């Protein structure tokens, strides 16, 4: 919570108990007090009342946070004087939004602007914010992902991010999002020395012109854009046509390399790879298809049933990978429901493991992931159950240290698979200890270990003692890669799935 509030521009003071909270509130500098009411309700209500009854200075606004409450208990907290109430699990963006609203109470200048891109396009939003020199962050969520734009008090866009893209390419990608939502959170004025720093800005006007031009070109070439789920292949042309003079630099080489290296690559795969802004990738593929360089993998497919043009989302891919994981477990004789999976990381690699869940926090399994993320960010670990059409998957995420060995030993025998992240220079003793716990189980779907470069050679030698495990050359970069890694070399699911 502290990190998110600081990122949003707030100054934060942490208090460990009721006395510290009252003393801090009494100093009178706080606009908002966030009270965690994991206390007996009577004590929680008393603390809210004590903060609101402070006589010196102006009383701060109070945001109370609690576990699940009955309706009458929620009323009791609000009656005690809380201005707002959040019930776990908490979405961190909502926390920031609630604090922003409370902290601007009595001000006419809105701190938060949010809505749908169907009502206001990013084009219409960005220019007025820049011209008004509104310092803050504009966050955008679309079907293919999300990103943000950072605006300085000098009226410049100083940073942009979209998935794994950044800078001018990310700004162009954001300007191409037509369906989704946005939220602009204004940041307080920066200190003079910070605001005086001249950070290099991104050329907004140039990005707007290029985004508009790309949209026109894609509309003109719409018939040449293949379906997102249609496999692509090279036609065999030995001479690549010369680019048209009016086309900007397109990622032609990157697209062709990806198609060559991965047979059956779909347009969706090219977009998900973040080779460039999605509009530039789409135009590249359309141009290559128009020139006959790329063709559908099965040229006869167009004569039969039309290829699906439904957009494949990352959430759908994750759900499909979970289904495949459960199906593979059933195929291999694992009848437990849920199918249990263990994810372990040494302290040096814990942040990387936690980041995999942070990536899909927005929009995927909102009833399951936020509570797990709270547990992971505490540094100890946690568990969750993910339901699929095929069954259920229980993910047990644990920190791999001496204190957790007993808990790992209790969970390991029931697990159908495991992935271990090693972060030290020599993880072989740790790996031996973990791998030995799975050697007695008869069935499994996948067992993998990701080690640092210094530790890889020693781990490779240890693998001879544990043949069901395999060393992966680099750690999985997202949760989808983890699910596919766990499925290992299982046979394909039944046709039609």
pLDDT digits (tens, 9 = 90+) for 148-188: 889 887 778 989 988 788 999 999 999 988 887 887 877 76
Residue with tokens 């001000």: 107
Tokens of 325: 């994981």
pLDDT one-digit tens code per residue, 362-411: 567 777 777 788 778 777 788 889 988 888 999 999 888 877 777 788 77
> Taking the complete model, does pTM exceed 0.85, yes or no?
no
What proportion of the chain, given as a percentage, has pLDDT over 70? Answer: 82
Q: Higher model confidence: residue 314 or residue 291?
A: 291
Look at residue 155 in the predicted model and tell me its pLDDT: 76
Q: Residue 90 — pLDDT band, cuts 50, 70, 90?
A: confident
Predicted pLDDT of residue 282: 92
Residue of 458, 338, 342, 336 lying closest to 386 (CA atoms): 338
CA–CA distance, 54 with 48 (Å, rounded to integer)? 11
Q: Tell me, what's the pLDDT at 343?
A: 92
For residue 383, the model assigns a pLDDT of: 87
Return the pLDDT at 199.
Answer: 54
Q: What is residue 280's predicted lDDT score, i.e. its pLDDT? A: 92
8's CB contacts (< 8 A; 6+ apart) are: 96, 99, 100, 137, 185, 187
Q: Write the CB contacts of 150 (distance below 8 Å, at least 6 apart in sequence).
A: 136, 137, 138, 157, 158, 159, 160
pLDDT at 281 exceeding the cut of 90: yes
Beta-carbon contacts of residue 70 (< 8 Å; ≥ 6 apart): none
Instruction: Compute the 3-state secondary structure of the chain and give helix, strand, coil in percent, each to the nearest 5.
Output: 40, 20, 40
Angle between helices 167-175 and 278-290 (to 10 degrees): 80
The top-scoring range by mean pLDDT among 259-263, 283-287, 312-316, 489-493 is 283-287
pLDDT confidence of residue 363: 62
Range in 108-117, 378-387, 454-463, 478-487 with the lowest mean pLDDT: 108-117
């Amino acid at each position: 919570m502290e990190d998110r509030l600081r990122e949003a521009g707030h100054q934060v003071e942490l208090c460990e108990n009721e006395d510290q909270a009252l003393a801090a509130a009494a100093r009178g500098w706080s606009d908002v007090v966030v009270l965690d009411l994991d206390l007996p309700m009577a004590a929680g209500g008393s603390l809210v009342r004590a903060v609101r009854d402070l006589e010196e200075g102006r009383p701060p606004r109070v945001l109370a946070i609690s576990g699940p409450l009955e309706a009458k208990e929620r009323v009791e907290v609000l009656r005690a004087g809380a201005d707002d109430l959040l019930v776990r699990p908490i979405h961190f963006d909502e926390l920031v939004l609630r604090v922003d609203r409370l902290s601007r109470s009595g001000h006419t200048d809105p701190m938060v602007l949010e809505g749908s891109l169907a009502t206001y396009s990013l084009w219409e939003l960005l220019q007025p914010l820049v011209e008004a020199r509104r310092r803050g962050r504009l966050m955008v969520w679309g079907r293919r992902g999300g990103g943000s734009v950072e605006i300085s008090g000098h009226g410049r866009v100083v940073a942009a991010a979209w998935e794994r893209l950044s800078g001018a390419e990310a700004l162009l990608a954001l300007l191409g999002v037509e369906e989704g939502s946005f939220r602009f959170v204004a940041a307080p004025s920066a200190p003079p020395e910070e605001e005086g720093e001249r950070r290099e800005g991104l050329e907004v006007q140039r990005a707007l012109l290029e985004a508009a031009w790309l949209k026109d070109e894609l509309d003109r070439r719409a018939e040449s854009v293949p379906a997102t789920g249609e496999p692509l292949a090279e036609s065999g042309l030995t001479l690549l046509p010369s680019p048209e003079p009016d086309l900007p630099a397109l990622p032609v080489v990157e697209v062709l390399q990806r198609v060559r290296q991965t047979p059956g690559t779909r347009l969706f795969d090219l977009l998900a790879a973040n080779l460039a802004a999605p509009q530039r990738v789409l135009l590249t593929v359309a141009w290559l298809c128009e020139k006959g360089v790329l063709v559908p993998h099965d040229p006869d497919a167009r004569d039969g049933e039309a290829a699906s043009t439904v957009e494949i989302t990352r959430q759908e891919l994750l759900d499909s990978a979970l289904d495949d994981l459960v199906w593979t477990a059933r195929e291999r004789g694992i009848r437990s429901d849920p199918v249990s999976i263990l994810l372990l990381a040494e302290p040096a690699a814990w942040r990387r493991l936690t980041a995999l869940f942070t990536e899909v926090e927005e929009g995927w399994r909102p009833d399951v992931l936020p509570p797990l993320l709270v547990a992971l960010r505490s540094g100890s670990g946690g568990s969750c159950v993910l339901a699929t059409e095929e069954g259920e998957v229980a993910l047990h995420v644990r920190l791999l240290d001496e204190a957790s060995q007993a808990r790992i030993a209790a969970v390991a025998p029931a697990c159908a698979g495991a992935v271990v992240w090693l972060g030290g220079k020599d993880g072989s003793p740790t790996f031996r200890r973990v791998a030995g716990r799975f050697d007695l189980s008869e069935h499994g779907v996948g067992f993998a270990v990701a080690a640092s470069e210094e530790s890889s050679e020693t781990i490779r030698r240890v693998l001879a003692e544990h043949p069901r495990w395999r060393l992966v050359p680099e750690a999985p970069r997202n949760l989808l890669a983890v699910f596919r890694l766990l499925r290992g070399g299982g046979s394909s699911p039944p046709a039609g799935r």
